[in-house]
Structure 1
Amino acid sequence: MTGATGAQTPIRLLQLLSLLQTPREWPGSELSERLGVSRRTVRRDVDRLRDLGYPVQATQGALGGYRLVAGKAMPPLVLDDEEAVAIAVGLRAGAGHAVEGVEEASVRALAKLEQVLPARLRHRVSALQVATMPLTSGDGASIAPETLTVMASAAAGHERLRFSYRAGDGTESRRLTEPYRLVSTGRRWYLVAYDIDREDWRTFRVDRVAEPFPTGARFAPRELPKGDAAEFIRQSVWRGQQSYDIDVTFAAPAEFVVARLPSALGTVDVLDERRCRLRGTVTDSVEWLAVRLAMTDCDFTAHEPPELVDCLRELGSRLTRAAEGPEDPGAPANRSPGA
């Protein structure tokens, strides 16, 4: 077995580092076989990684080998092709829906990863995304991951962003903005940005954005007038919308309920080890909220608002009728709306 040439050494070091970043100990013989070099070359490569600051630990004996020391400050992560594709596909799948827990940090990570992926891997990621379909999705509208990554990159790089926007009434316009931050509410993504033409701060629903592209013009970040971006979104979205306070008791532990409801609905307080209570202020329709609460897979009692209580009562009656079927075999199976 012969050693690789000097020109191949950097590539081999990256391959070795990728293997060592797997949480296991690698025998020298296995690394030698994987890399196609002698054990002596493996030892020299390990010394090179140590010189670069990677904490590679060696153990002696028949079962000895090499591994990276956990818990140390590490130089940049190195991924092989399969790992990079897997991470990118996972991030794109999550970013395509405003899923609870997929926050701005995930979108920034996707933007950074796709920026450094070679063309051949970007093609594989796109092909996998097109060829697969998730079994479940978020409650909000689906969004192209490319839209999120373009916006995240423009906000991070302080680069003006131009896009087409469709308002709630269907009016379309072109916007030139200084993007500030992306915010996920659990159901939807919003962009907080300074609108150049309107000379004021605006919020944009990302699912209504089309053809976003960075102009290349840099800008000095402005100070947001109302605290952080999440609070700005909350005040902007609720402005002009009817809001109501909700109060619901669940016959389940708090951690069970928290894992099944969007955090935007409010705060879940522990009553005891078997019960908890949700309180919050929301603007969603009571119909949507009634269905969302029913999906928690546990018993609950709605105290407020009265509109939610009435909606749940009617929904329960409708579902009971659907399960039991018509009393008269000759009657139609479905009742008219509002019956």
Structure 2
Amino acid sequence: MSSASTTSRLLRLLSLLQTRRDWPGTLLADRLDVSSRTVRRDVDRLRDMGYNIQAAMGPDGGYRLDAGSELPPLLFDDEQVIALAVALQGATAAGAGIEEAAVRALTTVRQVMPSRLRHRLDALRFTTLPSGRGEADPDVLVALSTAIHAREVLRFDYASTISEEDDVTVRPPRRVEPHHVVTSGSRWYLVAWDLDLGDWRIFRADRIIPRTPTGPRFTPREIPGGDVGEYVSARFKGAAENRWPCVGTVILNLPASRVLQFAGDGTVVELGADRCSLELGSWSWGALAASFGRFETAMEVVGPPELTEAFGVLAERYRTASG
């Protein structure tokens, strides 16, 4: 058997060991289409490379890939390499203070890629623009994630937007049960149960200054609705559910292609060469009417009546402002 075939089999064996906790030896042999003896030899090869693979004895014995004390050579299949490279490109604007490290890691990965994969990656080259918002310290993100994993109460100081010269109030540290770290719009947040306020809160990670040691262990509460993504999205909309409290539709005298560029999470339906409908949502009817105004074209309100009324209020307000 060629060395290329052996390497490919080792790569597949390692990929299988990473997908589940325990693998019976006979099942690995079936998946790799080799004998159990070959599986044992391949496991020994991976151990020589530094992978900590535990074996269970007996007729139903199998193998388990455990963490080791050192980082062994990493083996990836083709799709994993492309996914890793694309993720590293996107990480340059992640807002986690790892931009330089991501660029260096991407350069390293690309240098050792076979030409067939390098060509695929080059076809996917893109530029990620930073948002310009505050970045979270990687050490803070690790501290938050560690407390979440350990289920330990977290104590931290929370920097306000007031300058230090103006802010003379000494505030006690926050005490929270940390539950999730989430990222949205290149900004990182901690979702936690505030023990002093007795309610859920969302904290910006770039304002968190963790204190040590952490507090006692806790039993995690259930996020309202059971889905952290839905909960955070709803809070950002100022609503109890992940949907805008005010939703309306207008017909714009513009091509759908021009409206789509600025529709955000709205829905655009083409009604002709120079006409389309646009459904948008916002936190108030006035804000919704104003958001339609940014298209600077004639429009017809489809509904609801609250949107029509908001346009009237807004028109009067603008008329007054114009003098």
**Which category of TM-score, normalised to the shorter sequence, fits these structures?**
0.3 to 0.5
After TM superposition, the score normalised by the length of structure 1 is: 0.43
After TM superposition, the score normalised by the length of structure 2 is: 0.44
